[in-house]
Amino acid sequence: MELVIKNLHAKIDNKEILKGVDLTIHTGEMHAIMGPNGTGKSTLSAVIMGNPKYIVTEGSITLDGEDLLSMSVDERSRKGIFLAMQYPNEITGITNSDFIKAAMQARLGENEHVSLFKFIKEMDKAVKDLKMNPDLPHRYINEGFSGGEKKRNEILQMKMLKPHFAILDEIDSGLDVDALKIVGENINGMQSDNFASLIITHYQRLLDYIDVSNVHIMVNGKIVKSGGKELITKVDNEGYDWIKVELGIVDESTNKKEAIILGSCAVNKGAK
Ligand code: ADP
Ligand code: MG
């Protein structure tokens, strides 16, 4: 399958955040997006999933040639798009396991049913794989979960729902070193010809556990550079200033191109 994003522009509250994103993802690939804070990474994931707060003003997203932007969130989910949110919501009154079962059921035809036996077996295995507390699936969704438990819970949903395109927005934030390894290995374990991921992260750490095939750097609402794993190391060592300098991007927060060039120059910094 193929997810194609072309010249995507999107705004919120009349502020343009995405300014022409181009990105193509095939199942079988593992993509990572890195980029400074406030650059539009969460906005991109929200627009792919169909969050109505964001208005697409230009461009397209297609899934195997079908217009994704005209589909409801439900339809997108049934087509195999999955989003692990940066800040997962708490939902009182619905247990994790009921929620996952209902979501699995929604993917089946009218006369098909999720086998309870298979469901319980798979859920038990996923909980063990993620080294989660066994009572978490039976508690209300994310209610009273620690930051790390919420993140693991997103991965639990992904493992159970087996999406074709999983967007993981800062799934590593709030995870300790052990949890990071568990989450990373479980994401990597999803790799198949029917699965693609779009991993949004700031740090190399999570990506140490994942065989990433494509790396993209997003700055000011656009993907400005794409490559392989070597980009991860470069960003980890040098941050993002070099890209801004290379591409002559004006930093919107200071509006001074000069400031970026000086800021990235160790000699100048030291001389001050
Ligand atoms: P990232 O995930 O890359 O850190 P986001 O996509 O969350 O960035 O945010 C991109 C930009 O959109 C930020 O500058 C943020 O302040 C801005 N933004 C988000 N929500 C709103 C809003 N409701 N009104 C105006 N600007 C917003
Ligand atoms: Mg974000």
Q: Domain spans of the chain?
A: 2-93+164-268
Q: Which residue's C-alpha comes closest to atom 18 of ligand 1?
A: 12
Residue 38 CB less than 6 A away from ligand 1: yes
Strand partners, 223: 218
Residue 41 CB less than 6 A away from ligand 1: yes
Residue 14 CB less than 6 A away from ligand 1: no
Query: Relative to the alpha carbon of 35, which ligand is closest?
Result: 1
Cα of 111 vs centre of ligand 1, distance in Å, is: 43
The confidence score (pLDDT) of residue 251 equals 64
The confidence score (pLDDT) of residue 248 equals 85
Do residues 160 and 97 lie in contact, with contact meaning Cβ atoms separated by under 8 Å? no
Cα of 67 vs centre of ligand 1, distance in Å, is: 25
| Backbone φ, ψ for residue 171 (5° rounding) | -65, -15
Query: Relative to the alpha carbon of 44, which ligand is closest?
Result: 1
Cα of 164 vs centre of ligand 2, distance in Å, is: 22
The confidence score (pLDDT) of residue 202 equals 80
pTM reported for the whole predicted model: 0.91
**DSSP β-ladder status, 214-219 and 30-34:** parallel
Q: Return the structure tokens found at 130.
A: 């993620």
CA distance 42 to 85: 8
Q: Return the structure tokens found at 181.
A: 């390894």
- The CATH superfamily label for domain 2-93+164-268 reads P-loop containing nucleotide triphosphate hydrolases (3.40.50.300)
From the list 99, 109, 44, 103, the residue with the least C-alpha distance to 77 is 103
| DSSP assignments along 69-129, one per residue | TTS-HHHHHHTTEEEE-SSPPPEEEEEHHHHHHHHHHHTS-TT----HHHHHHHHHHHHHH
The confidence score (pLDDT) of residue 127 equals 97
* 1 burial via Cβ count (<10 Å: 0-12, 13-18, 19+): middle
Query: Relative to the alpha carbon of 54, which ligand is closest?
Result: 1
The confidence score (pLDDT) of residue 260 equals 44
pLDDT tens for the chain, 272 residues: list them. 999 999 999 999 999 999 999 999 999 999 999 999 999 999 999 999 999 999 999 999 999 999 999 999 999 999 999 999 989 999 999 999 999 999 999 988 889 999 999 999 999 999 999 999 999 999 999 999 999 999 999 999 999 999 999 999 999 998 999 999 999 999 999 999 999 999 999 888 999 999 999 999 999 999 999 999 999 999 989 999 898 888 887 766 555 554 444 444 444 443 33
Please identify, by atom number, the ligand 1 atom nearest to the C-alpha of residue 170.
2
Q: Return the structure tokens found at 3.
A: 């997810």
Cα of 39 vs centre of ligand 2, distance in Å, is: 8
The confidence score (pLDDT) of residue 21 equals 98
